[in-house]
Amino acid sequence: MYYVFVAVDPGPDPPARAGLHANGLPVNSKALNLSFASQNLRSLNISTKNRITRDKIFAITREKQDIILLCDLKLNSNIQKAAVHDVEKYFFLNGYKLYHNSKHSTRGVGVLINRKISHSISNCLCDNDGNIIILELNLDVGNERLIVGSLYGTNQNEEGFFNTVEQFLNQLNGPPIILGGDLNATWDNRNVNDNLDVHSMQNIPSIFHTNKIRSLCNIFNLVDPFRALYPNKKDFTYVPSVVNNHNRSRIDFFMITVTLIPYVKNCSISVGLLTTHFDHKCIFLNFKKKPVARTFPIKFSILKENEVSWQVTSSVIESYIQHALLNENYTQGQKDQHLLTLGEINMLTQESLDLKLALVTVGVDNHLDLQIEAIPPQVEELFSTLPGLSFFEELERPEYCNDALFFDTLVHCVRNSALLQQKKIFNIKANRKNALISRIKTLKENYNINSREIHIAERLLNTLIENELKLEITQNKKFEVLNDEKMTAHFSCMAKVSKQECAISEICNDFEQEFASTDLCSSYIKNYFGDVYKKPPGPPFPPDSVQTFLGDTANHNTV
């Protein structure tokens, strides 16, 4: 059984053949339990391979879709082989295998496949200009075959591009098709005043491309899932980088065989840009039936929040109190008083979070600011009334509560407290973002009238998303692995100091005495480092010494 997934524009109105392949065979919906995305990357900037490259890769992979179609890679893989290898490695460490057709420094397309999807490639069809890549996949689960591809529409009215697409799809005769990408054209072919896919434009991007896409859709029985689900909805994917440019267009979309429409759970456009380095929004196509379960580890970023510090400290002290043996050294009265103090601290912690949530909701409020600022001194004063941690550590515990059991309980209490506060803090941070998203969706109910307000709200949302992205990148362990021992901006930032802390004149000889002259100092420094890096005496290292030293680590994928 076949399934085809490629990148292109949506197609015409669907014929009444839902539930069948193009060849009349039933569709196996189990094979369609996949999620897709498509993104114009606006170049991966690998000639410099800077922070922007990293941000773009992390932004698209953090969406965790099963298959991601990419346009405008500009990898120049014929020349930049080492840089392309690094990009492939970065994608791999973020959970994806990259297949690409980007031989030159212009154009370029690619397909990312989640490493959790066990598959093999039996066919790869690419054009010479970096506009088309189509993969024939064999999925191990269900022994299904899929055709996955990405298309990048040309800027000029070139018929050859569409002829090549048609030729490739004819070679894969029979399977249902999913196409997605930046076609540099709209699906709607009506005039600019009635066209649902453009806003504040004098003409639609390319009527030639639109008509060719329509023709291609008629040949292969394709339909636009977004327009099939939302016949009259106005939303756009292209967002100009210039703030005062208000033109918008929907030139990124999927195109799928009509028989797949009953299995589509949703087709959507991201509310904001995944990162401000992009000028196209991401589009999504989802066939999945159940959401993927997620884990929520404690994020390093929340440890600096006062409420987390207060809650964790309170939990540690309470753990010692609840496991303490009551005797003449620690009475019931002392225990009750200490628990009462901790209760007051917990109430102030919750009050602080409630006030911050109210502040995010209303915006600017000096009275709320003053109330929030007044809480930390009160909490610190309450903590000062409690004995030090060493007092609680020395309290006796019952015989059944050995060190291992107590430590295990303490860790769970601290972790749960931190996760509880993390959830509340993240809810506060997400509140403004969710409010913006809701406002944008409401405004889009009448896009023409509210367009300026929509654009302002989207720019605010893009800023929030960008700040979240930067924070996640700094906490990404795989990012740290990639930057290990490399003189990157991240590495340099860790080494920065606000002022010069030492000078060469402070260097002394082996007897901790100052040098009589700068020549003697220079000679000492030269000889010192010469000895450090001098080849050690003795026989040379055997050829397999590095392999022996690393052991199994030498065979690891990262190495």
Residues 6+ apart with CB under 8 A from 458: 239, 271, 272, 440
| pLDDT reported for residue 290 | 57
CB 382 within 8 A of CB 348: yes
In DSSP terms, which residues pair with 199 in a beta bridge?
248
For the chain, give percent helix, strand, coil, nearest 5. 45, 15, 40
Whether the per-residue pLDDT at 480 is higher than 60: the answer is: no
In this prediction, residues 535-547 reach a mean pLDDT of 69
pLDDT(267) > 90: yes
- Predicted confidence band at 477 (pLDDT cuts at 50, 70, 90)? low
What pLDDT shows up at residue 15? 39
Averaged confidence pLDDT in the chain: 83
Residue 85 has pLDDT above 50, yes or no: yes
Min mean pLDDT across 28-37, 48-57, 431-440, 448-457 is at: 28-37
Q: Band the pLDDT of 138: cuts 50, 70, 90.
A: confident
And the tokens for 547?
């392999």
- What phi-psi label fits residue 472: left (phi over 0), alpha (psi between -120 and 50 degrees) or beta? alpha
**pLDDT exceeds cutoff 70 at 307:** yes
pLDDT-based confidence at residue 49 (cuts at 50, 70, 90) = low
DSSP string, 12-56: SPPPS-TTB-TTSPBP-GGGG--EEEEEE-S---TTTT-HHHHHH
pLDDT > 80? residue 204 = yes
| pLDDT at site 1 | 44
Cβ neighbour number for residue 540 with a 10 Å cutoff: 7
Percent above pLDDT 70 for the chain:
83
The answer, yes or no, to whether residue 40 has pLDDT greater than 90, is: yes
Angle between helices 159-171 and 207-220 (to 10 degrees): 10
Identity at 447, one-letter amino acid code: Y
Query: What CATH number was assigned to the domain covering residues 2-286?
Result: 3.60.10.10
Please give the pLDDT value at position 63. 86
What residues pair up with 114 in beta bridges, in sequence order? Answer: 96
Low-confidence winner among 124-133, 423-432, 439-448 (lowest mean pLDDT): 423-432
Higher-pLDDT residue of 420, 492? 420
Sign of CA dihedral 132, 138, 144, 145: positive
Q: Angle, to 10 degrees, between the axis of helix 403-443 and the axis of helix 306-322?
A: 150
Examine the pLDDT at 485 and tell me if it is beyond 50.
Answer: no
Q: Which helix (H) or strand (E) holds 265?
A: none
**What pLDDT is recorded for position 347?**
93
| pLDDT-based confidence at residue 296 (cuts at 50, 70, 90) | low
Q: What is the per-residue pLDDT for 2?
A: 42
Q: Which amino acid is at 428?
A: I
- Cα–Cα dist 546/544, whole Å: 6
More confident residue, 50 or 258: 258
Report whether pLDDT(194) > 80. yes
Query: Stretch 155-161: mean pLDDT, rounded?
Result: 90
pTM over 0.75: no
Residue with tokens 């390093």: 300
Do residues 286 and 266 lie in contact, with contact meaning Cβ atoms separated by under 8 Å? yes
Whether the CB-CB separation of 249 and 186 falls below 8 Å is answered with yes
Dihedral in degrees, nearest 10, Cα atoms 149, 154, 160, 165? 10
Q: How many residues appear in the chain? A: 559
Span 389-411, pLDDT tens digits: 899 989 988 888 888 888 888 88
pLDDT at 482 over 90: no
10 pLDDT above the threshold of 90: no
Sign of dihedral through CA atoms 293, 299, 301, 304?
positive
Q: Which among 135, 224, 141, 140 is positioned nearest to 175, based on CA atoms? A: 135
Find the distance separating the first CA and the last CA of the chain, reported in whole Å: 38
- Over 70: is that where the pLDDT of 77 sits? yes
C-alpha Rg value of the chain to the nearest Å: 30
C-alpha 312/C-alpha 555 separation (Å) is 41
Instruction: Tell me the per-residue pLDDT of 57-73, one tens digit each, with 9 for 90 and over.
Output: 999 999 889 999 999 99
What sign has the CA pseudo-torsion 469, 471, 477, 481? positive
Q: What is the average pLDDT across 363-371?
A: 83
Q: What is the mean pLDDT of the segment spanning 355-370? A: 82
**Of the spans 249-258, 281-290, 481-490, which averages the highest pLDDT?**
249-258
The domain locations on the chain are: 2-286, 300-479, 497-555
Mean local confidence (pLDDT), 169-193 = 89
pLDDT of 41 above 90: yes
Give the C-alpha separation, 383 to 499, whole Å: 36
Q: Which residue has the higher pLDDT, 481 or 433?
A: 433
Across 256-279, average pLDDT: 92
With 70 as the cut, is the pLDDT of residue 43 above it?
Answer: yes
Q: Which of 332-346, 361-375, 453-467, 526-540 has the lowest mean pLDDT?
A: 526-540
